[in-house]
Chains A and B, each alone.
Chain A
Amino acid sequence: MNTILSHGLRFGFFLLVQVLILNQIEIGVGTQLMIYPLFIALLPVEMNTFVSLSFAFTLGVSIDAMSNTYGLHTSSLLVFAYLKPIVYSAFAPRDGYDQVSETNIHEMGLSWFLRSFGLLLLIHHLWFFTLEMFKLNEILFVLQKTILSVIMSFIVCILLQYLFIRKPKET
């Protein structure tokens, strides 16, 4: 019950922060902050992929509806949610994920988080900007946007976890 409530609150939090604050921040050279993939990344590992895909679709459509992107966010978030189990099993720790209560940065460590979440976020951003531009001759501009945005989004995602997720007590 508690996890359901906290994920529900997170859903609203990510939606509102993305739409009302981050969409308005303009850093320059096409850089865009997108933190909502963190919601999917923090869903429990053992969760059925159907359920997480449905969550991704709902969150994506809500963000699209409020930022006039007509399905762009939905499409890239679906890619993120679909690849998440594949990437997570490829980077699984030695004991699997049984010991882990949530795949946040405190539990898994920075290096795991950088590898798995970073890779997924890179794919998500690359999909988003490629689909948005939809022109092969602008590929360098797409790559430039992707790389700059991934770095900024990743930093914000890490900061959010340090700010809002309590560190588990050492036992």
Chain B
Amino acid sequence: MRNFLAFIRRFQVLLFFALLQGIALTIYFTFSVFPRSQYLTTASSISGSILSVRNDLTKHFNLSASNRKLQAENSLLRKELTQNQLTIDQTWELDSSKAKNDSTIQQFEYIGGMIINSTFNRVNNYFTLNIGKKQGVEAGMGVISDKGVVGVIHNSSEHFSVVKSCLTSNINMDIMIEYSGEPGLLKWNGKDARRGNMTGVSNDTEIKPWSKVVTRGGAKKFPRGIPVGKVAKTEVVEGQPLWDVTILYAENFRSVQYVYVIKNLLLNEQQELESQIPNDIEN
């Protein structure tokens, strides 16, 4: 016993250091995968409000560019309005005005928000949004901007939420090549904020350079076909029948300011149905 006490006294500084270091490393390795609470992230109310004060000061710096972007998006959406389209088949139109209401239901809703804090030079970059649970943001929802995919909600508090952006090493988003439907997973190598990687693409098909890469819509977070980027380069993975595809992101994450959080209204229905698949079928 005395030896033990002497040991503790001798190495007390080292033990204290090891204890604190252990806490820090535990937080690092568990929270970056699955955040257990909103404290220790920018979703907490204290850091969230400090960051939003900073954002209030700096958000007007690129006001004209943001306005231009919003206007471009508006004009694109205006084009889609039915009143601006000439109906060619009149009979179909007469019948379908009522039928259309019955045959389609809203699946995705978009909640507008603003990025108030972001980094780009880390290995895992998270963005903070000024919207939270009060606006209906939940962990796991997809986040897009007017140009393309931004990331997935990592966790959210009452008024703020943290986005795991496309600039994190384990983003693992379901994506595909648009023209061929070839599926793959989105990864990031931690180096270039304009480029990501698409893994798991089998190399028995040719991939045309500069073909569009879009979301696959499999993970219930995004609708199908939201742009991710374009194929910039394809390389063969050594020893495996796979392409390593480099993607040039559609969105420049350094300048993105206004984003939309995607709420899947049919999420529960789909999950309930999928949970009925028995997962113990072996043969």
Asked if A153 is at the interface of the complex by the 8 Å CB criterion, the answer is no
Q: Are B41 and A68 in contact (CB under 8 A)?
A: yes
Q: Which of A77-125 contact B (CB under 8 A)?
A: 78-79, 81-82
How many residues from A make CB contacts under 8 Å with B? 37
Q: How near does chain B come to A43, taking the closest CB pair, in angstroms?
A: 15
Complex alpha-carbon distance, A26 and B125, angstroms: 13
Asked if B120 is at the interface of the complex by the 8 Å CB criterion, the answer is yes
Q: Are A74 and B17 in contact (CB under 8 A)?
A: no
Asked if A161 is at the interface of the complex by the 8 Å CB criterion, the answer is no
Which residue, A26, A78, A81, A133, has most C-beta atoms of chain B within 10 A? Answer: A78
Q: Which residues of A contact B121 (CB under 8 A)?
A: 26-27, 30-32
Asked if A151 is at the interface of the complex by the 8 Å CB criterion, the answer is no
Q: Are A71 and B28 in contact (CB under 8 A)?
A: yes
1/0 per position for A4-24, CB-CB distance to B under 8 A? 000000000000000110011
Q: How near does chain A come to B152, taking the closest CB pair, in angstroms?
A: 14
Complex alpha-carbon distance, A131 and B124, angstroms: 12
Asked if B40 is at the interface of the complex by the 8 Å CB criterion, the answer is yes
Q: Which residues of B contact A71 (CB under 8 A)?
A: 23-28, 31, 40
Q: Which residues of A contact B40 (CB under 8 A)?
A: 61, 64-65, 70-71
Complex alpha-carbon distance, A70 and B31, angstroms: 6
Q: Are B20 and A66 in contact (CB under 8 A)?
A: no
Closest to A131 in B: B28
Q: How near does chain A come to B132, taking the closest CB pair, in angstroms?
A: 15
Q: Are A82 and B24 in contact (CB under 8 A)?
A: no
Q: Which residues of B contact A72 (CB under 8 A)?
A: 28
1/0 per position for B122-159, CB-CB distance to A under 8 A? 11101010000000000000000000000000000000
Q: Which of B20, B42, B191 contacts A65 (CB 8 A)?
A: B42
Contact of A65 with B54 at beta-carbon distance under 8 Å, contacts A57-B20, A70-B31, A74-B24 already known: no
Q: Which residues of A contact B120 (CB under 8 A)?
A: 26
Q: Which residues of B contact A70 (CB under 8 A)?
A: 27-28, 31-32, 35, 40-41
Closest to A60 in B: B24
Q: Which of B208-246 contact A (CB under 8 A)?
A: none
Q: Are B27 and A50 in contact (CB under 8 A)?
A: no
Closest to A77 in B: B24
Closest to A83 in B: B17
Q: Nearest 10 CB-CB pairs, A to B?
A: A71-B28, A71-B27, A68-B126, A74-B24, A75-B24, A66-B47, A70-B31, A71-B24, A82-B17, A132-B123
B residues near A (Cβ < 8 Å) are 12-14, 16-17, 20-21, 23-28, 31-32, 35, 39-42, 44, 46-47, 50-51, 54, 117, 119-124, 126, 128, 162, 190-191, 254
A residues near B (Cβ < 8 Å) are 19-20, 23-24, 26-27, 30-32, 49-50, 53-54, 56-57, 60-61, 64-72, 74-75, 78-79, 81-82, 131-133, 138, 141
